[in-house]
């Protein structure tokens, strides 16, 4: 059996999957996607490994990271160890077990993730997934959740955060509602329509203040803390409201109002620093990254089918 080289006994072995990811991808950005981390974390792990070994492992080029002679030597040894040990993997293990909890915005969890969660279950049949989809988010800092999809990047706490995807929102109304009223052709016309939105004084995050970006002095008359309740009001013909395009564009009875008026937002994928490299967390992070990439037109409001 091959012995572990003496110089590898002084490094933190949790850094080796990051080294393998960069060596194989050739770019820190691509390696971040395969490890479910952000580029800052990958770069920090590589620097720590280089410090421990006292060698530069990569040269920065215009196209990414190239292995140095020391890096090529390390790659040969680590890949041999990987094969023998059954895997120091940069991606998720095929035999994942246990439970992982994902906290996400109510609409995104209900209308997007839930539609595709069966694919994750097929990929990792031993993994039990809990989706906490609500207007209030659980905290990775307090270990209330393993992963959180947030509307903003956290500014503090022992967290690893990266942008998961951008997405678009627009105004919608039901066909029945518009059949009885003159459709608005400008934001000023919305004052003559019944508007639907969030309850202003209990908004959990400022990113939910959508109507402020549509026009000045626009206030909802029908309000709910739930985006799903707002969708039901709009679909039932109660008025006009803002919905994410991944909700409005898959609702057959809804049509865009002022279609050139679009609101942009982002989802951020967040995990606790100490658990971000757990195989279950990496597996779900990778799946989410692939999922949003595959449905980018729908999220961007290109009226793509789900």
Q: In whole angstroms, how far apart are CA 258 and each of 107, 169, 263, 265?
A: 22, 12, 12, 18
pLDDT interval class at 3 (50, 70, 90): very low
* Distance (Å, whole) CA 13 – CA 34: 18
The answer on pLDDT for 197 being more than 90 is: yes
User: pLDDT-based confidence at 112, cuts 50/70/90?
Assistant: very high
Q: Where residue 10 falls among pLDDT bands split at 50, 70, 90? A: low
* Pairwise pLDDT comparison (235 vs 94), residue with the higher score: 235
Q: Which residues of 153-163 are buried (b: 16+ CB within 10 A; e: fewer)?
A: eeeeeebbbbe
* pLDDT over threshold 50, residue 306: no
Q: Determine the average pLDDT of the residues in 39-43.
A: 88
Give the Cα separation of 145 and 143 in Å (integer).
5
Q: 305 pLDDT exceeds 60? A: no
pLDDT tens for residues 205-242?
A: 888 888 888 888 889 999 999 999 999 999 999 999 99
User: Residue 33: CB partners within 8 Å, gap ≥ 6?
Assistant: 286, 289
Is residue 33 scored above 90 in pLDDT?
Answer: no
Kindly tell me the sign of the dihedral angle through the C-alpha atoms of 234, 113, 152, 132.
positive
Q: What is the mean pLDDT of residues 15-38?
A: 83
DSSP state of 200: G
The DSSP code for 113 is I
Task: Count other C-beta atoms under 10 Å from residue 178's C-beta.
Answer: 17
- Element containing residue 169 per DSSP (H, E): strand 159-174
| pLDDT for res 174 | 97
Domains of the chain, each with CATH number or no CATH: 6-85 (1.10.10.10), 98-164+266-293 (3.40.190.10), 167-264 (3.40.190.10)
pTM: 0.68
pLDDT reading at 62 higher than 60 = yes
Provide the 3-class DSSP secondary structure of residue 203. Answer: coil
Under 8 Å between Cβ of 284 and 102: yes
Q: Residue 99 belongs to what H/E stretch?
A: strand 98-105
Q: Which residues are within 8 A (CB) of 95 and not within 5 positions of it... i.e. 6 or more apart? A: 126
Name the average pLDDT for the chain. Answer: 85
Neighbouring-strand partners of residue 266: 166
If you average pLDDT over residues 273-291, what whole number do you get? 86
CB 235 within 8 A of CB 174: yes
Contact 96, 124 (CB under 8 A): yes
């Amino acid at each position: 059996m091959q012995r572990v080289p003496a110089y590898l006994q002084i490094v933190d072995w949790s850094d080796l999957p990051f080294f393998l990811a960069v060596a194989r991808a050739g770019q820190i950005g691509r390696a971040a996607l395969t490890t479910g981390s952000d580029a800052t974390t990958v770069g920090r792990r590589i620097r720590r490994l280089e410090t421990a070994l006292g060698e530069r492992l990569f040269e920065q080029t215009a196209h990414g990271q190239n292995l140095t002679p020391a890096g090529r030597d390390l790659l040969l040894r680590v890949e041999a160890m990987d094969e023998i040990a059954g895997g120091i993997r940069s991606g998720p293990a095929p035999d994942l077990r246990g439970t992982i909890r994902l906290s996400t915005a109510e609409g995104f969890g209900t209308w997007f993730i839930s539609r595709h969660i069966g694919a994750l279950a097929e990929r990792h049949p031993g993994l039990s997934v809990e989706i906490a989809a609500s207007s209030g988010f659980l905290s990775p800092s307090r270990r209330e959740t393993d992963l959180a999809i947030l509307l903003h990047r956290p500014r503090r706490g022992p967290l690893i955060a990266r942008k998961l995807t951008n997405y678009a929102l627009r105004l919608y109304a039901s066909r029945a509602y518009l059949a009885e009223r003159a459709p608005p052709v400008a934001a000023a016309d919305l004052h003559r329509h019944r508007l639907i939105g969030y309850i202003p004084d209990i908004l959990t995050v400022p990113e939910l203040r959508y109507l402020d970006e549509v026009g000045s002095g626009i206030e909802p008359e029908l309000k709910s803390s739930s985006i799903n309740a707002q969708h039901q009001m709009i679909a039932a013909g109660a008025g006009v409201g803002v919905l994410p395009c991944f909700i409005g564009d898959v609702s057959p009875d809804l049509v865009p109002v002022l279609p050139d008026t679009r609101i942009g937002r982002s989802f951020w994928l967040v995990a606790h620093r100490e658990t971000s490299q757990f195989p279950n967390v990496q597996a779900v992070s990778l799946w989410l990254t692939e999922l949003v990439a595959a449905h980018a037109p729908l999220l961007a409001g290109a009226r793509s089918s789900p």
